[in-house]
A = this chain, B = another copy of it.
Amino acid sequence: MMKKNYLFLSVLLLFAFSNSHAQSGSEAIKEDFKPSSKNQPGKDYPQVNSQGYARFRIEAPEAETVHVSLGLGGRGGTKLTKDSDGVWWGTTEGPMDEGFHYYHLTIDGGTFNDPGALNYYGSTRWESGIEIPAHDQEFYALKNVPHGNVQQVLFPSPSTSSVKRAFVYTPPGYAENSTTRYPVLYLQHGWGEDETAWSNQGHANLIMDNMIANGEIDPFIIVMTYGMTNEIKFGGLRDFKIEPFQTVLVDELIPFIDSNFRTLSNKDNRAMAGLSMGGMETHSITLNRPEVFSYYGLLSGGVYSPEEIKEDAGVKMIFISCGSKENPDRVKTSVNALKEAGYHAVSYVSEGTAHEFQTWRRSLHEMAPLLFK
């Protein structure tokens, strides 16, 4: 069991660090660069063009070297060069994958963020973020439709002797329909991230708002908390134990949510899903505590095999996804085996994306209509 977890984690972390974000550029670079939508207010750089190239501009007149971690994954990112005004410039060697990317600067050997970009929690630190506009970006765009709220809750966690934070998405209409009760999806971030990721990077709230406005789904609540994953390092993977987080989630957070929100507080109306290490947590917790959740989702976060699932678990739907640049065959094979064993299982492969948030935005968008049916 320990050994299996170790291999599983290794695969996840391998994906997390081996993304090839960009391909080598063959066509001419179009000079239609615009500020990234993830820039700080009023900041002109970094910029992105219609082909998916990113261009960086950094002021550091006396620096010796300035380097951006984005670009050609395995080949060390993008090296900037200084102009005669002491400003550093650089453009990625090729177009980047659609969607959101974390990055940072290396300035004279130190790691810093790009002062032009907003910061997002990934790799166990607040990193710079950039957005390559995707052809399907409308499904997570901020539109003039009714919006749900994302609220920070602080809940007591006796098992860890602390007060912990979660974010709760309540759908539009939650306040007005003061007697309606809603199903709940517990949705986990990946390694290096925290409970802010699904809203900030993932736009989970906007994905829900838009699908509800379009009549594609019935409203439900999403709860996002910290998965306690970030103490895990490469060397320490063997030591990862699910029990401490399982206790926080199942025995502390769920009762808190059920008593503070108008939930349908039963197994049939409760789902758990997670991306990357959050998928691993989903896998372990749904199997360990089959009485809690009916819907399971693994987003670039491993697979289930039919024999792992208890016969009387009463699972209603299993969703397994990844990007086409990850290992889609493994996802499809698993879902086929689950189907053969009689489970309602659905696979999804995000075309042209790797182990990154565009895969997970799309996965949430595909999974949401399958929940609570």
Contact = CB atoms under 8 A, between A and B. Distances in A.
Interface of A: 40-43, 58-65, 86, 105, 107-113, 115, 118-119, 124-126, 142-144, 147, 149-156, 163, 168, 170, 175-176, 178, 194, 199, 205, 230, 259-262
A74 to B, nearest CB: 24
Contacts of A65: 62
Given A142-B154, A149-B152, A112 B109 contact: no
Contact of A59 (B110, B113, B259): B110
B111 A112 contact: no
Given A152-B150, A163-B147, A260-B175, A115 B115 contact: no
Contacts of A61: 108-110
A176 B261 CA distance: 8
Contact of A107 (B40, B60, B119, B142): B60
Nearest to A150: B152
Given A63-B110, A113-B113, A175 B261 contact: yes
Contacts of A154: 142, 147
Contacts of A113: 112-113, 115
16 contacts: A40-B125, A42-B230, A59-B109, A61-B109, A107-B110, A113-B115, A119-B119, A119-B126, A147-B163, A149-B168, A150-B152, A152-B199, A175-B260, A175-B261, A176-B259, A176-B260
Contacts of A168: 149
A42 B124 contact: yes
Nearest to A231: B42
A211 B11 CA distance: 49
